[in-house]
Chain A
Amino acid sequence: MSDHDLAAALRAALEQRDRVVRPPHFATMWTDRGERRRPLLPWRPLVASAACALVVVGIVWNSTQRPARLDPVLAHQLSSAEYWRVPTDDVLVYEAAPLSADLPSPTGLQISLEESLL
């Protein structure tokens, strides 16, 4: 096969390929997709910063949520010898107290001397 024949055969084959595989419309690649993407680019850092700020605010909000103060009567019942008589449902309405939570006042507990010695 001479160079000329090889070139002609290759040209015909590639023309056939290009007839089968048609290019997408120029307008869809140039204007619609290309130009539309560009204006969004400067906003990306702002959107990312706003999303980060929202996450930080959410974390701070959750960490400042305080559980309800413990009812003094319930606290007294729980500190007695018969703490097991307290219904579980009464205890479950309270969230776990954080380490820095205020404890019930000792005067409100009204524990007798005998009870405290037990």
Chain B
Amino acid sequence: MRHNPLIDPRELEQLHGQCFSWALTCTRGHRSEAEDVLQMTYLAIIEGRARFDGESSLKTWLFAVIRNHARSRSRHLRYVLQSLSRIAAFAADEQTRDEPHSETHRLVAALHALPNRQREVLDLVFYRGLAIAEAAKVLGIGLGTARVHYERGKATLRRQLAALERMP
């Protein structure tokens, strides 16, 4: 690849599923948003606006680029998404009112409801098996700050799960 000689598209293809899954977490489970973010990431790589210098692993670097695109996109669409998410949440609630809430559904909903950094650090450490130091690199924050978000995320998640279990 002309702008990113250190990236092998075959390696990228192997990481594609994980990248999409990470984009889903960054966009709080919005599929079309996740697809757009991933498309923007790939375009940035092809056009050389995002350059891999090999200082970290390709996966860590990719996750950081995806997260940055998700954040900048969410800043632009914040006002639209706020109103749309209210409508979507209402519609989802209507759809699933008669269905029993499974443990899986509750956990994913609770994770998506967490503040950005808490959600992201828990996903990276618990689900993707990254060390907290690697997660800090992806998020562009210090190790100490990442640890704080990790601990707060766990506490918030436990509180939210307990609250959800008390709901009828």
A: residues with CB less than 8 A from B are 1, 3, 6-7, 9-18, 21, 23-24, 26, 29-30, 33-35, 37-38
Partner of A6, one of B39, B108, B157: B157
Min distance, Cβ A106 to any Cβ of chain B, angstroms: 70
Closest 4 CB pairs of A and B: A23-B20, A13-B107, A26-B16, A7-B126
Residues of B within 8 A of A30 (CB): 9, 12-13, 42, 46
| Binary contact track B107-124/A, C-beta < 8 Å → 1, others 0 | 110010000000000110
Bound complex: CA A38 to CA B1 (Å): 13
Confirm or deny: B83 has a beta carbon within 8 angstroms of a beta carbon on chain A: no
B: residues with CB less than 8 A from A are 9, 12-13, 16-17, 19-21, 24-25, 29, 31, 35, 38-39, 42-43, 46-47, 103-105, 107-108, 111, 122-123, 125-127, 154, 157-158, 161
The answer on a CB contact under 8 Å between B42 and A29 is yes
- Among A11, A21, A23, A33, max chain B CB count under 10 A is at A23
The answer on a CB contact under 8 Å between A29 and B158 is no
Min distance, Cβ B121 to any Cβ of chain A, angstroms: 12
The answer on a CB contact under 8 Å between B104 and A12 is yes
The answer on a CB contact under 8 Å between B16 and A10 is no
| 17 further A-B pairs in the complex, CB-CB below 8 A; given A13-B107, A16-B104 | A3-B154, A9-B107, A10-B107, A10-B126, A10-B157, A15-B127, A18-B17, A23-B17, A24-B35, A26-B12, A26-B16, A29-B39, A30-B9, A30-B12, A30-B46, A34-B42, A37-B43
